[in-house]
């Protein structure tokens, strides 16, 4: 006869249940949607909008998107006081932090500015 989770948890000692609860909370905290992360930092969409220089409706749309530019995500995370890191996981080697993307974005912006200023001449 199958046992429910509550039955199994009820058989554990209080100390073991506390460890299981703490680990479950840690796992949940490791993966959050942008809106959940913002709320966990006690920030409102309005506050984020001011920090990002966009409207509140823009923050709402951004939080609902499933596909973001890395630079947009980086700006959002930095507006909350964090730093975005991109980690690549491979089955046959240790995880690697991907670097150089910020430099690529900065170079694109610099080239774009030159092209725009050259067009006005």
Question: Please, are residues 97 and 86 in contact by the beta-carbon 8 Å criterion?
Answer: yes
pLDDT score for 62: 93
pTM exceeds 0.75, yes or no: no
- Note the pLDDT tens digit of each residue in 60-104: 999 999 899 999 999 999 999 999 999 999 999 999 999 887 655
Joined together, the tokens standing for residue 94 give 């240790």
Question: Please, are residues 34 and 61 in contact by the beta-carbon 8 Å criterion?
Answer: no
Question: 118: pLDDT confidence band, cut at 50, 70 and 90?
Answer: low
Place of tokens 């690529």: 104
121 pLDDT above the threshold of 50: no
- Note the pLDDT tens digit of each residue in 17-64: 898 888 877 776 667 889 988 998 999 999 999 999 999 999 999 999
pLDDT score for 108: 54
Q: Could you give the CA distance from residue 50 to residue 45 in angstroms, rounded to a whole number?
A: 9
Quick one: 76 exposed, middle or buried, by C-beta within 10 A (0-12, 13-18, 19+)? buried
Question: Please, are residues 51 and 61 in contact by the beta-carbon 8 Å criterion?
Answer: no
Q: Could you give the CA distance from residue 83 to residue 89 in angstroms, rounded to a whole number?
A: 19
pLDDT score for 74: 92
């Amino acid at each position: 006869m199958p046992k429910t989770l509550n039955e199994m948890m009820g058989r554990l000692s209080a100390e073991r249940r506390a460890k299981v609860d703490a680990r479950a909370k840690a796992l949940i905290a490791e993966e959050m949607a942008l809106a959940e992360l913002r709320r966990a930092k006690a920030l409102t969409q309005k506050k984020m909008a001011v920090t990002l220089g966009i409207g509140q409706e823009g923050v709402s749309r951004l939080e609902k998107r499933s596909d973001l530019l890395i630079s947009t995500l980086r700006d959002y995370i930095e507006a909350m006081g964090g730093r975005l890191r991109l980690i690549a996981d491979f089955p046959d080697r240790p995880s690697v932090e991907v670097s150089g993307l910020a430099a690529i974005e900065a170079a694109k912006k610099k080239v774009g500015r030159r092209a725009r200023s050259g067009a006005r001449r």
